[in-house]
Structure 1
Amino acid sequence: MDLPYLRQYPETIQQQVRALVQAGTLGNTLKKRYPDAVHDIQSDARLYEFTMALKQQFMRSSAPISKICFDPKIHIVNNALGLHSQVSRVQGKALKSKNEIRVASLLKTLPMPLLRMIVVHELAHLREKDHNKAFYQLCQHMEPQYHQLELDLRLYLTWQDLAGGAPDATN
């Protein structure tokens, strides 16, 4: 069984996930961990408010963000879970740049801790462009459970794929 969201994880973890899938317990495991999957961040405006509150709390001095939105064009496996881009334009003699954060629209249904992890990840890119040690330290500063949440997100997406869509209470 191919596990596209878990390819970078050790084979031992992939084997554990395969065992959960074969036993039919991956969904129940995630439901126990995240019983409240519903949240109110369903619009670009709410995502903007949520992201800016985190930015204000942890990254006040970082570059401003000009756009934060859910993007229906992001394909989760090919283009990651969200995108941070710096758009540069020439205006007269000056080079102007704008930071944008886009989160895949399919992720609106995630439990709140997993959506927060994605926003934290994209905010960290304001300071650290690469996925290096400093980047992950910043992620953990903003979200101490960052690494566990990232794994859980990948498990959740695996579960969604196997269930054929958004998980519900019957899976």
Structure 2
Amino acid sequence: MQPLKYLAGYSSDIQEQIQSLLAHDKLGQFLLKRHPQIHSVRTDKALFDYTMEIKNQYLRKSQPLSKVIFDDKISLSHQALGLHSYVARKQGAKIKAKNEIRISSRLKKVPEGLLRMVVVHELAHLKEKDHNKAFYQLCCHMDGDYHQLEFELRLLLTLIDAGKNPYT
């Protein structure tokens, strides 16, 4: 059995269950039953609008976003599917600052809930820079299924690594 790199932090019981589902080709069926369709957000503009809708619902008073895009350069080698960056530039006597969110292009063809989980995660960084208790409480406030969706995204990544992506 190969190690489950995306599920390394989970108990050995959970990992054994996932290995069994994977070995019997049932893990993809599980995900398709939970999330039968992929989202329709395909362009950077649609992603910006999608993200701003969530931001305006939960983080209206947070710092503004200047850019939200799909990025082909984000790789899983750094365990990232999204990046939040805060860029400050000095122009004369003024400092211009902007927040950007970049979402991996690999998420263009996943279920909406999994895309939402990554967007919520990156939006939470507007208020909480570190992955601490307050950060995860904010994620759960914006999406009550945050932890379940994160787990399911890890399952999908495991399937993709095994060459069994149910959404292709």
Which TM-score bucket, shorter chain as reference? Answer: over 0.9
Letter in 2 for 1:33: R
Q: Distance in 2 between matches of 1:10 and 1:95?
A: 47
What's the CA shift for 1:22? 1.2
Letter in 2 for 1:19: S
Q: Which residue of 2 aligns with 1:167?
A: 166
Letter in 1 for 2:36: P
| Identical-residue share of aligned pairs (%) | 53
Q: Structure 2 unaligned runs (5+)?
A: none
Q: Which residue of 2 aligns with 1:95?
A: 95
Q: Structure 1 unaligned runs (5+)?
A: none
Aligned residues of 1:74 and 1:104 also touching (Cα < 8 A):
yes
Aligned length in residues: 167
Q: Which residue of 2 aligns with 1:85?
A: 85
Q: 1:168 to 1:101 in 2, by over 3 A?
A: closer
Q: Distance in 2 between matches of 1:110 and 1:77?
A: 19
What's the CA shift for 1:79? 4.4
SS at match of 2:66: strand
Aligned residues of 1:4 and 1:77 also touching (Cα < 8 A):
no
Aligned residues of 1:5 and 1:77 also touching (Cα < 8 A):
no
Q: Are 1:55 and 2:58 counterparts? A: no
Letter in 1 for 2:33: K
**14-23 vs 2-11, which deviates more?**
2-11
Give the TM-score normalised by structure 2.
Answer: 0.94
Q: Distance in 1 between matches of 2:47 and 2:57?
A: 15
**CA RMSD of the aligned region, Å?**
1.4
Letter in 1 for 2:14: I
Q: Distance in 2 between matches of 1:33 and 1:167?
A: 12
Give the TM-score normalised by structure 1.
Answer: 0.92
Aligned residues of 1:76 and 1:104 also touching (Cα < 8 A):
no
Q: Which residue of 2 aligns with 1:11?
A: 12
